[in-house]
Structure 1
Amino acid sequence: MTDWRLTFSIMAALVFIDTNIYLDFYRVRGGDTSLSILKHFDSNHNRIITTSVVEMEYKKNRQRVILESLKQIKPQDEDGLIVPAFLQESKQNKAIKRTKEQLSEQSKRLRERTAKLLQSP
């Protein structure tokens, strides 16, 4: 295959993203999935394909995953806090890392923010 054909094939390739990848943004996993991946989704949105099954599974499981993450958002120890990927870069989480005294208040805010996802997706 010539170079231009290979380049064209790569550029024309479609990408299928599994439901669990979308749900990982709501899971507490210690940084496996971060919001930076969304930039790649956005820049390649015309190449991403999905099915109604993926959409149905996402809608079916999103609330359950958020509730699981909500239960896990709690102080881990003096050094840190376990948060889902979509909150790792939040202002609240950064403040917790800087100021141990504010850990209780900030983790409460994270729980409230996660709970709001259930009210207004």
Structure 2
Amino acid sequence: MTRWILTHPDRLDADDTAALKKILERSPPLAAATAHVAGSAEMLVERHGDRLDAWISAVEADDQPDLHRFTHGLRRDHAAVLAGLTQPHSSGVIEGNVNRIKTIKRQMYGRASFDLLRKRVLLTR
């Protein structure tokens, strides 16, 4: 069900769409959360930072305590989130590579030398 909610509706097959619709009809809170997730995904993909404040207000007006905690964090880092949604450049690729290297390093902790770590980093994609 999580995959159905997080997948763009155009990419779901007819059976998955029907099943998701049936579930959302039975659970209005889940339907509201799904609408908020879709709104945030649209903001992220299409880089609409101008919609951020309206989205946060809509989530906070709804009875979704878990999403309220998320929006509280967004408000705390509002400037950074807004920059991430509006600026054309991102450090996402660099952060992804750093995360990959740290994961490899954790897997090898205490088992191998720096030379082997270097080879794994260079050969792993």
Please tell me whether Structure 1 or Structure 2 has the larger radius of gyration of its CA atoms. Answer: 2
Same fold (TM over 0.5): no
- TM category, shorter: under 0.3
Give the structure-1-normalised TM-score. 0.27
User: Quick check: which one's strand share is greater?
Assistant: 1
Q: Which has the higher contact order (CA 8 A, sep 6+)?
A: 1
Specify which structure has the higher proportion of helix.
Answer: 2
